[in-house]
Chain A
Amino acid sequence: MGEVLVVLVLASLTALATGLGAVPFAFVSRISSAVEARANALAAGLMLGASFGLAAEGTHRGGWQTMAGAVGGVLFILLVHRLLDRHRFSFETAKSVPGEAAGGSAAAAKRALLVLIVMTAHSAAEGVAVGVGFGGGETLALAITVAIAVHNIPEGLAISAVLRSQGVSLVRCAGWSVFSSLPQPLLAVPAFLFVELFQATLPYGLGFAAGAMAFLVLQELLPEAYGNAPARAVSLFVTVSLVLMVLFQRSL
């Protein structure tokens, strides 16, 4: 019971960290797309570093099982995206809904809703990562928790940027940002209990989280970053945060 509580509290902290993305808007009215791109690149490096940590722990326990889990993680994200696409929800449409330039409030509200839905769908995989991270030991768990918490801040920044431009208050921006990450504590606990009860599934779970997170980086964060900042700036942010993330995991 004590361990479950720890998982719940730490996974809740990662969700709360998303709210920090609203903080810059206490000082500035808007964030440029170039800054958002660099934030995405930073998040991409942290996520890749966390994926490396999960994959390393998984392959240590079983290479083929970890790879099978990674395939499952990629398929999970593809399935989520297919469901979102069916309802015309995607990362691109979330960033620019046609008609918004005309200043239509309905389009603006739709954009805010899209961003929220897409971010919420993403955080499901991150919740599983936190849960299985605890199954892999305290060191890995702490590293993954910190990585996802720090990575959540740029996600909160993206959500707050859209909401703030619609005149939503700072507190509500933070609140909706946290809301988008609620699947993290909600899925972290069952994921942890599952790998605890069925130890043999741990490498599959670690692979699932690693595959899902790496796929999100390649399919969404990087293209989004390349679209709004020079490749060399994106590369610098990704590689530096990746190296620091790996060093952090190693230093624990």
Chain B
Amino acid sequence: MNPVAVAFLGSSAAALTASAGSLSLLFSQRLPGVAIGWANALASGFMLGAAYLLMSAGLGYSAWAGAAAALLAVASLHAVDRAGRSALVLHALHSAPEGLAIGGAVWLGFPFGIFMIAAIAIHNVFEAIALCGDLRDRGASVSRTAVLAAGSNSGQVAVATLSAALVWLFPFLLPWVLGAAVGSLAYLVMVDLLPRSYQEIGKTSISLVTLAAMAILVLLGIPG
């Protein structure tokens, strides 16, 4: 299957899995801070693990291009973030890294692409658990939180498909897409997910959960 099609179908499936985050509300109408903190920590670990795997795979192409793209992505997200924390800005902050990760990974081989899509899908569920808790607090119904959680990842599908298509048209862009994914994934974890995790629960449990999630992803994702 064409990697662009894999990116489109895979990122769409990953976006839809985010709605599973609302299932947590069936067990508890109001999620405790600990659950939200751990969900964000797990999401952080998965993103850092994905960044590590993409970096390891991408270094074989062009380290300088990758680093330049990573720095450009960080600078861009930083500029967007400075503009204000509107819903649109937060949406862009989250969609770009995850979409770029899928768009780049599908060009590193079908198994790796599928693995990255699965990792982002699981990450989306943990991220959605935290989001659904916020939405429920604002009075949204469980079904509405499920739709909004999936919809909030629509940008991910667009970025994944666009970045994969760009590499298809201009193969020399692959290290740039991979570098941008690594830089933006790391930036998102540091600017949003980890600070929110630390606010909810103790730093030791956050550190352990984040590292465990990262280690599992790295261990499963390394070749051989």
Residues of A that sit less than 8 Å from B by CB: 52, 55-56, 59, 63-64, 67, 70, 74, 78, 211, 214-215, 218-220, 222-223, 226, 231-232, 234-236, 238-240, 242-244, 246-247, 250-251
Nearest Cβ on chain B to A243's Cβ, whole angstroms: 5
Q: Which of B17-25, B152-160, B186-194 contacts A (4 or more CB under 8 A)?
A: B186-194
Nearest Cβ on chain B to A126's Cβ, whole angstroms: 17
In contact, B190 and A234 (Cβ under 8 angstroms): yes
With the chains together, A142 CA to B71 CA distance in Å? 24
Interface membership of B204, Cβ < 8 A: yes
User: Looking at the complex, which one of A63, A215, A238, A243 makes contact with B207 (CB distance below 8 Å)?
Assistant: A215
Other A-B contacts than A211-B211, A222-B198, A243-B67, 8 sampled, CB-CB below 8 A, are A219-B203, A219-B207, A222-B190, A222-B194, A232-B191, A238-B186, A243-B182, A250-B63
Interface size class of B (residues with CB under 8 A): 20 to 34
Residues of A within 8 A of B71 (CB): 240, 243
Interface membership of B168, Cβ < 8 A: no
Nearest Cβ on chain B to A134's Cβ, whole angstroms: 22
Nearest Cβ on chain B to A207's Cβ, whole angstroms: 9
Interface membership of B4, Cβ < 8 A: no
With A218-B206, A232-B191, A250-B63 known as contacts, the answer to whether A67 contacts B78 (CB < 8 A) is no
Nearest Cβ on chain B to A83's Cβ, whole angstroms: 15
Nearest Cβ on chain A to B49's Cβ, whole angstroms: 10
Residues of A within 8 A of B52 (CB): 52, 55
In contact, B63 and A232 (Cβ under 8 angstroms): no
With A74-B211, A218-B210, A243-B67 known as contacts, the answer to whether A235 contacts B55 (CB < 8 A) is no
